[in-house]
Amino acid sequence: MANQSHGGPVNPRSRKAQPASRAGSRSRTAPKPGNGGRSAEEGKPRKPLWRRIVKWGLITGVVMFVLGIAGLFFAYRAVSIPDANAEFLTQTTKVYYSDGKHKIGDFQTQNRTSITFDEMPQTIKDSVVAAEDRSFYTNQGLDFKGIARALRDNATTNSTSGGSTITQQYVKVLYLTQDRTWSRKAKEAILSIKVHNQMSKEEILEGYLNTIYFGNGAYGVEAASQTYFGQKAAKLTAPQAALLSSVINNPSAFDPYDEDDHDRLMGRYSYVIDGMRKAGNITEEEYAKYSAKLPKVQKQRQSNRFGGTRGFLLRLTEQQLRKEGFDDTQINGGGLKVVTTFDYDAQKAAVESVKEMKPEGLKELNVALSSVDPETGALRAMYGGPNYLKSQLNWAMLGSQPGSSFKPFAVAAALSDGYGLKTQLNGSSPLRLKGDAEIENQGDSGGRSFGPVSLEYATQESVNTAFVDLTYDVMDDGGDKTIEAARRAGVSAAAVKRYDPSVAVVSLGYAPVPNVDMAAAYATFANEGKQNDWYVIERVRDREGKDLHKHTVRSKEAFSKAVASDVTKALQDVVRSGSGTNGSTMCPTAGKTGTATFQKVEDGKEVGSAHVSSSWFVGYTPKLSTAVMYVRGKNGNEALNGYMPTFYGGQYPAKTFKTFMDKVLDGGDCGEFPPPANIKSTKGKTFVPTPTATEETKKPKPDRPDRPSRPTRPTRPAPTQPTLPTEPTEPDPTRPTRPTQPTLPTEPEPPEETDGPGNGWGG
């Protein structure tokens, strides 16, 4: 019988039983050559090598696929949607004039104004889908065909095209960084799927159009529409929307304002318009019309928001917002609507008036103007300098020596202390004081000697010696009472601290006072003795229109109505027939000139010659109080004499005051001052004019406008000359602070305090 083949069935009867070599083991016979790979035991042919590779490859693939799905599942569960990048949630804070319509400027981290999906026109929705993701409404957050196409293009060409969907772009901008790493791309893909599953297409598109960058500083479609077309996004036409959507792909390469980018932009624009045609968003006729040329964009605007005079308004507004408790995050990214007190027409008039009246060619000359509403304290206009970007020193906040414009506080102090406008004072020049010190009349009074004069006439003619006599000899503690009257009227605490009541010339305004403080303090007289702090922020609303701040007027009685009305009477005389006639306006006007003289003092000794350091006119009508100041140099203390054609406060400052007031006042609605109270003197002597020597018959000495006389400094026994306090560690709220915006130039330090105060003896 023939032997059985190794591969066939075995008949146990035809073979002898084989003893086991050891317990539990079996004997194996090696396959013989030529048996087709069949084993002696199994008797089966072995599969070819390629089939085994395919088999194990498939098994490995299935295992890897399962592991991959499991990994994606766990990654999907593990990766949560993070908090949005803070800067992409910000909205621009807009600052307006008092009418709430005319815009001053804005504060921003990014130039963005978010709008709702319903406020977005269909044109921008269609065009951005045609430009960035034509499968947007059907994909699941990822476009695998687009990804494959991008991989192919990147591998076969020099381009770096992407396959990102709108959802992916939104996720990358809002939640991630712009890094080109595999981990970021993987996270982007997972988040895109997750966002797709948790948000509707409308929500995604709304967020995308409010977030994406359109170039030239514009984030979001509303800012882009305003930037390129000067209109709200709701009014975007199809070609305008297509242009904006074209820019998204590469804002730096497709800049509508760059002529070199025109051809590239036209190519991208044609692609977008064609996509809108294929999607049925526009007709063939519209396509032929729109694709012929790019839509016209408006003239490119100056990007710096702080340029010109309005930069001072914005910076002061920012400072005042902080004072009201708003932090930088709210100010620069809270989407607030800030309505200020600045009147659009009054501010325009302030700028025009300074330009009209300032002498030409005097580049070192600094002018300040502040105008305050007496009834509320609202700052209606402010001129701090011609261009904030060139110099951040706001002279309306800094001020200088007010000179004789400080005298009304001494008048108010005297009237409150039992004296009257008819109180007799010594207006002789020179005036000899204790210790043989002398003081002379200067400035607007012409340097003349008046002899005995009334307080009213001393105010009218700005008689220095009479006011020194009032505060030094006539009133008890006259210096203290004058300083206190200035504080009650509205001069800031930081400014009044610079005054030493023991100095005989305290009433002559020898230390700096902010220009805005002087306007606010005179407003107290205009408001019949009721004082209001000046302010800038009228109201603040959030992006939903809810009031976050609304100013409340809180008046305080600084002086009695009688005192205020008599001060006004004296200051009306100044404008009618005294040193301030150039300040007369179309309405009843009261005011005071000021021309301060500065003498540098070192170690108690005068150094060099005295010079005129500042020139003022401060005045008011029943409805508006305004201070005008002229100073020179970076520290505001350089000589005006020999530099200006004429330096007296009754000249350029008074004329600037009149020019401004006549532009803003309504001659048919001036209001009226209350009649004078004619407070009776209970102290001191009452002036009684004589036929041979009256206030009116005194003849002036010739004016010396080029070279004011240098006075002898009067002293009390063992007098002490005050030293101006150094700048406080904390910024003075009346002074400008350094800008916080990173794009602005560094703000210079405020003017240095000099070694000694000026004497303010300019009249």
Q: What is the pLDDT of residues 209-264, one digit of tens each?
A: 998 989 988 999 999 999 999 999 999 999 999 999 999 999 989 999 998 899 99
Q: Which residue has the higher pLDDT, 63 or 719?
A: 63
In order, the DSSP letters of 593-656 are EEEEEEEEEETTEEEEEEEEEEEEEEEEETTEEEEEEEEESTTS-S--TTTSS---TTTHHHHH
Pairing of strands 547-550, 431-432: unpaired
Q: What is the pLDDT of residues 462-511, one digit of tens each?
A: 999 999 999 989 999 999 999 999 999 999 999 999 999 998 899 999 99
**Is the pLDDT at 13 greater than 60, yes or no?**
no
pLDDT on residue 573: 97
C-alpha torsion sign, points 685, 691, 697, 698 = negative
Per-residue confidence (pLDDT) for residue 414, from 0 to 100: 97
Residue 438's H or E segment, with its range, is strand 438-439
Cα–Cα distance, 336 to 331 (Å, whole number): 7
Confidence class for position 715, pLDDT limits 50, 70, 90: very low
Query: Model confidence at 739, in pLDDT bands (50, 70, 90)?
Result: very low
Strand partners, 605: 602
Give the strand pairing for 111-112 and 218-219.
parallel
The pLDDT of residue 402 is above 80: yes
Q: Is residue 351 within a helix (H) or strand (E), and if so which, with residue range? A: helix 344-357
Could you tell me if 445 and 460 are in contact, meaning their C-beta atoms sit under 8 angstroms apart? no
Instruction: Evaluate if residue 81 carries a pLDDT over 70.
Output: no
Q: What pTM did the predictor assign?
A: 0.73
Task: Compute how many other C-beta atoms are within 10 angstroms of the C-beta atom of residue 224.
Answer: 30
Diameter over CA atoms, the chain:
175
SS3 helix, strand, coil % of the chain, rounded to 5?
A: 40, 15, 50
Instruction: Please report, for residues 363, 396, 410, the alpha-carbon distance to residue 673 in angstroms, rounded to integers and kept in the order given.
Output: 39, 27, 21
Q: Please tell me the predicted confidence (pLDDT) of residue 24.
A: 44
DSSP for 283-307? -HHHHHHHTTSPPP-PPPPP--TT-
Question: What's residue 186's pLDDT?
Answer: 63
Chain center to CA of 590:
34
347-376 pLDDT, tens per residue? 999 999 999 999 999 999 999 999 999 999
- Whether residue 749 has pLDDT greater than 60: no
- The residue with tokens 């602070």 is 737
Q: What value does the mean pLDDT of the chain take? A: 81
Q: How far apart are CA 757 and CA 601, in angstroms?
A: 7
For the stretch 160-190, pLDDT in tens is: 445 688 888 877 776 644 444 555 566 667 6
Note the pLDDT tens digit of each residue in 303-326. 677 889 999 999 999 999 999 999
SS3 state of residue 547: strand
Q: What count of other Cβ atoms lies within 10 Å of the Cβ of residue 167?
A: 28
| 3 state DSSP class of 354 | helix
Residue indicated by tokens 């692609």: 271
Question: What dihedral angle (degrees, nearest 10) is formed by the CA atoms of 65, 68, 70, 75?
Answer: -160
Q: Which of 577, 583, 652 is nearest to 612 (CA)?
A: 652
Phi, psi of 324 (to 5 degrees): -85, 0
**Residue 295: both structure tokens together:** 């839509």
Query: What does the angle CA 391 – CA 397 – CA 400 come to, to the nearest 5 degrees?
Result: 95
Percent of the chain having pLDDT more than 70?
A: 75
Encoded tokens for 93: 């804070």
Least confident of 35-44, 515-524, 669-678: 35-44
Average pLDDT rounded to a whole number, residues 106-132: 93
Which of these ranges, 285-294, 300-309, 466-475, 512-521, has the smallest mean pLDDT? 300-309
Question: Residue 503: what residue type?
Answer: V
**Separation CA 483–CA 494 (nearest Å):** 12
Residue 18 has pLDDT above 70, yes or no: no
- Percent of the chain clearing pLDDT 90 (strictly above): 57
- pLDDT above 50 for 723: no
Measured between alpha carbons, how far is residue 244 from residues 203, 260, 462 in Å? 20, 18, 66
Task: Report how far apart, in Å, the C-alpha atoms of 92 and of each of 100, 218, 336, 339 are.
Answer: 16, 11, 7, 14
Q: Output the six-digit token pair for 161.
A: 């095209």
Measured CA to CA, the distance from residue 294 to residue 236 in angstroms comes to 14
Does the structure show a pLDDT above 70 at 149? no
Q: Residue 17: pLDDT band by 50, 70, 90 thresholds?
A: very low
What is the Cα–Cα distance from 485 to 417, expressed in whole angstroms?
Answer: 11
